[in-house]
Structure 1
Amino acid sequence: MPISFNPTAPLVVVVGSTGNQGGSVIKALTESDRPYRIRGLTRDATRPVAQRLTTQGVEVVNVSLTIENADAVTAAFAGASIAFIVTNFWEHRNREREVAEGKMMVKAAMDARVSLVVWSTLESISQISNGKYTHVDHFEGKAEVTAYARQLGCPLLTVQAGAYSTNHMQWKPFMQKRQEDGSYVLDFGLFVRGGIESPALGVGAEILTCGEEISVGEMAAQLSHITGKKVTYKRITDEEFMAATEAPYEVALELLEMMKFFDEFGYYAGKGTKPSREYLSRVPQTWGEFVRENDWSSVLACMIAIQ
């Protein structure tokens, strides 16, 4: 349904409206048969993607989501029934900043009396691993904000992001084939919409996003079969992984511990994802479908094996 201008329709404020997750949420809500008013927050309303949102009926608000700008952020949430909040650790790689900004947005939404706060979060890897893995800051910061929101009594719905299929094409030197408007296709918003619209979910629920549960070995096999190229799965040493990332030591260590955690405890620490798919309006895209829809020539030209 097109974005509504009826004042009786719920107003949804979407943080990161020009990004992957926020843009996906807006897309999913516009595909609903329910009416929504949508206010998209962005730091740069002059960007082409922001201007396209305006033409679709989104109320685009130019606001910097920093702790120094808390009053303006609170004003940006004013009148909203629902808020979708996300932070971008990889923009600055500063856990303290991510936590501070996440807490600020939660508090701003509560001050604006939002009835449902949808928070894009992740697990505490250090807690689940009993202190074995302590360097995965992009998980830990989000988990800290979750704990704060619950302590504050926030009307919280948590949505955890699974591993993006696009990661395999975005990680330098890989480049993914984008859509004509410069965006990526993401099913994340599909789960957010389910959380908002299903009576069985809402406040207090936890959603674990997942198109399908598939091993890296199975991914390699399907990629090989679909592309007709030989792609093999090979386990490597920690040292080989650190070198292969071509990233600063701190980033490489964070990614290494994340991967080792997944291998030992599972992405969602053993929690099943099937219940989170029961309330979706359509079936999410599978890995095989993603492979078929994208051009892998540049990736395969650089890839010896999927590690």
Structure 2
Amino acid sequence: MSKKLLTVFGATGNQGGSVISTILGNSTLSSQFALRGITRNTSSARAQALASKGVELAVADLNKPQEIEAALKGSYAVFAVTNYWESKSREIEVSQGKAIADACIAVGVKHAVFSSLPNVTKLTDGKLGHVAHFDGKSEIAEYFESVKGKTGMLSTYFMPGFYVTNFKTMIRANPQVNDGTPTLTLPWDSEKTHVPLLSPEVDTGTFVAGIVSYPEPKELDGKYIQGVSEWSTPSKIVSEIGAAIGKEVKFNPVPEDVFMKFLPSDTAEELTENMVLVRDYSYYGVGTEKKQGESDKVLQPLGLKTQSVTEWAKSGSWNF
């Protein structure tokens, strides 16, 4: 039986790289899918490492629709991801995402999986209206839905949670603030804030692999999948990281205006509202921590497991 071609955007990045690693590392999946990785530089060390493992490489500039279409030809499924932070422009990101959607339709992709996020402005009734890197991705997902029409293409939206890798830079040992104990300082409640954590380099692939290999793919059409390795609270997060690395880690809750002062002026409002979204709306919406089982259904057919905070914390080095 011939393999289905899965084309992955951002093949050398966190999300795309995770998808490729997961497929390659699972004999069932690697027997079902051939892989094509899209990158802007096929000669880079990371790209060549993928090529050595049998991944076909393709070049595509997301600002050039004709290159996107050429890179997607022959694809059964596509995993697409856009990067707001590269331009810090919602308009540019949305334009790129729409170009991907149009290309998927043009070449006859059967299943498109887009890395999206909630529309924060709508979710909060306008109370949080400056989280552009969420709202833009939501707009792209809406565009996918609007253009696929009766083409027969299925679309599923993977919504990555809060990256555990953020804690590598967010936890700081600052003797000017406390006794030098590594501390996580955020405008969250230590016990009441529900944090949807994702280990991006591992579990992006876990969820996307579950989506593209799901035995009844039509059931996932138009569905939004919460990409969460583990739901936690701030106090539990620092406790588990501390236990894993053998060093006490504290949590320091601060008001929003204090937190905002820690941030660069051009991103302060957006990132502060992002943290308020986690605190007041559980990131995906109030009560969504109780609905994770609906998303985890995509993991069940292959028995896929997510990575815990403890496992992640033990897997890398920490410098305080």
**TM-score under structure 2 length normalisation:** 0.82
Does the CA contact (< 8 Å) of 1:26 and 1:189 recur in 2? yes
Shift of 1:205: 2.6
Residue among 217, 229, 236 paired with 1:218: 236
Distance in 2 separating the partners of 1:172 and 1:53: 32
Deviations 1:111-167, CA, capped at 9 Å, x for gaps: 111000000000000001000001001100000001111111252111000111111
AA of the residue aligned to 2:62: L
1:14 and 1:90 map into 2 onto residues whose CA distance is 19
Q: How does 1:16-95 map to 2 (within 5 A)?
A: 16-32=10-26, 33=28, 34-66=31-63, 69-95=64-90
Alignment of 1:1-307 (within 5 A): 8-32=2-26, 33=28, 34-66=31-63, 69-153=64-148, 155-170=154-169, 185-200=201-216, 201-245=219-263, 247=264, 249-269=265-285, 270-271=287-288, 272-280=291-299, 281-296=303-318, 298=319, 301=320
Runs of 4+ in 1 over 4 A off after TM superposition: 170-174
Q: Does the Cα contact within 8 Å between 1:196 and 1:202 map onto a contact in 2?
A: no
Q: Tell me how far apart the structure 2 counterparts of residues 148 and 24 of structure 1 sit (CA, whole Å).
A: 25
Deviations 1:263-294 (A, max 9, x none): 11112113221222233233211011112222
Structure 1: any 5+ residue segments left out of the alignment?
A: 1-5, 175-183, 302-307
Structure 2 CA distance for aligned equivalents of residues 86 and 22 of structure 1: 8
Q: Secondary structure at the match of 1:61?
A: strand
Aligned residues: 279
Give CA deviations for 1:77-135 in whole Å, capped at 9, x if unaligned: 11111011100111121110000000011111111110000000000000010000010
Deviation at 1:216, TM superposition (A): 1.3
Matched residue type, 1:119: F
Classify 1:173/1:105 alpha carbon distance in 2 versus 1 (closer, same or farther; 3 Å): farther
Gap regions ≥5 residues in structure 2: 174-199
TM-score in terms of structure 1 length = 0.86
Identity %: 30
Q: Supply the distance in 1 between the matched residues of 2:315 and 2:40 (Cα, whole angstroms).
A: 31
* 2:260 and 2:269 in contact (8 A); partners too: yes
Report SS of the residue matched to 1:79.
coil
Change (3 A) 1:226 1:9: closer
- Kindly report the root-mean-square deviation, in angstroms, between the aligned alpha carbons of the 2 structures: 1.9
- Aligned partner of residue 158 in structure 1, secondary structure: strand
- Alpha-carbon separation, structure 2, partners of 1:185 and 1:121: 17
Aligned to 2:194: none
Measured in 2, the distance between the counterparts of 1:219 and 1:171 equals 12
